[in-house]
């Protein structure tokens, strides 16, 4: 089960803020009154040091209030940064190989496509729209999880993918052969080819299995308004809009901008050798 960290952060910030407010409005005054009463009743019978220690103890905030006040600003800053500026993600699958590898830690620009409220995702300010060729994080229509794919189709586009060739509005997207490679699949390594492809001026790598897999019978899609057609760069080994349809604008999370760390699965130390901008 995926953990909704935005929801967790919002709950923690609200909890800490509520405790701080409760202390300020309700709990603080009785402590101050007790301190003042003890100072007046004991000022003559106690030494200054002894009285000061007792007053400090009487005025001390409960531990939970002290922690709430300490954590509230820190959690609030993290919530703002994560919700509106930049959020980290880890790549869990190989659908974007060779651009992104399993174990890549990436940064996602949360304001590139407009500012959205945390948890509910309501857009509160427009910034820009996704463009063809960009790599985007989103929630797909069939599952409440974060996915990452490349934007292939914009609202109103006609997308055709047939015989391992991609057409956007009837125009073939040219790809240039790079090398023969072995492609890791659920049934083992299969022979394939590595290409470079350019969409809307964005050059990126894609890979294709030589064999005809016949997983999909549909070849053409017309993208409805307010939706985007997403595909993985690992073209024959990606669950994407060819299977579950276009992504609604309301389910956009942000634009993937950089790989900042990589960690192989298992007991392996993280590496920074793959750090790069994402194209």
Question: Structure tokens of 234?
Answer: 């690992």
In whole angstroms, how far apart are CA 83 and each of 79, 109, 225, 258? 6, 10, 26, 17
Residue with tokens 């016949």: 214
Query: Is 95 assigned a catalytic role?
Result: yes
In whole angstroms, how far apart are CA 264 and each of 103, 188, 268? 5, 19, 6
Cα–Cα dist 226/250, whole Å: 8
CB-count burial class (<10 Å; 0-12, 13-18, 19+) for 176: exposed
Query: Is 149 assigned a catalytic role?
Result: yes
Q: Which of 6, 83, 95, 241 is catalytic?
A: 95
- The string of DSSP letters for 4-30 reads -HHHHHHHHHHHHHHHHHHIIIIIHHH
- The string of DSSP letters for 72-140 reads HHHHHHHHHIIIIIEEEEE--SSTTTTTS-TTEEEEEESSTT-EE-TTT--EEE------TT-EEEE--
Q: Which of 149, 175, 241, 255 is catalytic?
A: 149
Cα–Cα dist 245/159, whole Å: 12
Cα–Cα dist 105/259, whole Å: 6
Residues labelled as active-site residues: 95, 149
């Amino acid at each position: 089960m995926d953990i909704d960290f935005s929801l967790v952060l919002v709950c923690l910030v609200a909890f800490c803020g509520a405790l701080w407010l409760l202390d300020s409005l309700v709990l603080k005054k009785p402590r101050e009154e007790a301190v003042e009463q003890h100072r007046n009743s004991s000022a003559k019978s106690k030494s200054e040091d002894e009285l000061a220690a007792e007053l400090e103890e009487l005025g001390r905030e409960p531990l939970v209030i002290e922690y709430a006040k300490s954590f509230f600003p820190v959690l609030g800053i993290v919530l703002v940064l994560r919700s509106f500026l930049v959020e980290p993600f880890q790549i869990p699958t190989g659908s974007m190989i060779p651009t992104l590898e399993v174990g890549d830690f990436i940064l996602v620009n949360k304001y590139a496509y407009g500012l959205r409220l945390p948890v509910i995702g309501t857009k509160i300010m427009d910034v820009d729209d996704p463009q063809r060729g960009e790599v985007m994080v989103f929630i797909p229509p069939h599952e409440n999880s974060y996915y990452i794919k490349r934007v292939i189709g914009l609202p109103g586009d006609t997308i055709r993918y047939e015989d391992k060739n991609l057409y956007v509005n009837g125009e073939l997207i040219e790809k240039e052969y790079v090398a023969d490679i072995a492609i890791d699949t659920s049934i083992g390594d299969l022979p394939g080819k590595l290409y470079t492809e350019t969409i809307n001026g964005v050059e990126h790598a894609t890979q294709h299995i030589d064999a005809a897999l016949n997983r999909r019978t549909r070849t053409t899609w017309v993208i409805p308004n307010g939706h985007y057609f997403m595909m993985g760069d690992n073209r024959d080994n990606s669950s994407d809009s060819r299977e579950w349809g276009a992504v609604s604008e309301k389910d956009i999370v942000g634009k993937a901008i950089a790989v900042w760390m990589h960690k192989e699965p298992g007991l392996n130390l993280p590496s920074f050798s793959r750090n790069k901008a994402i194209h």
